[in-house]
Amino acid sequence: METTPENTAHGYIRAGDKEKLRHRLRRIEGQVRGIQRMLDEDAYCIDILTQLGSIVAATEKVGLLILKDHMDHCVRHAVERRDEADEKIEEVVSAVERFLRV
């Protein structure tokens, strides 16, 4: 899926949500760096696994927030205007499918 100029013009994600997402992403980035430190310090494998699981869950949470915004704006607008509604619905379901890796 390419980022088209038309898409980037929208700015679907609400300013308030963006701030929240940035905060969460900075935390995830910090957790990933934390694991590099745990490796350097020969931390116990099980502790590293626990931290990795927490990164996975936090990343999926960010995905859900973005899915919510996408449904609230892009999918909703396409359906309201009956403009590419089928394509948008198909697209978001495929995105969930890739996320679940089914």
Least separation in angstroms between residue 2's CB and a copy of itself is 8
Residue ranges in 36-75 that form contacts with a copy of itself under rule CB under 8 A: 36, 39, 41-50, 52-53, 55-57, 59-64, 66-72, 74-75
**87 sits near a copy of itself (criterion: CB under 8 A):** no
Distances in whole angstroms, Cα of residue 55 to Cα of each of 17, 66, 91, 95:
20, 17, 26, 20
**Closest distance of CB 42 from a copy of itself, Å:** 4
- ∠3-6-19 over CA atoms, to 5°? 70
Residue 84 touches a copy of itself, criterion: CB under 8 A: no
Distance from C-alpha of 71 to C-alpha of 64, rounded to nearest angstrom: 10
16 lies in the binding site for a copy of itself (CB under 8 A): no
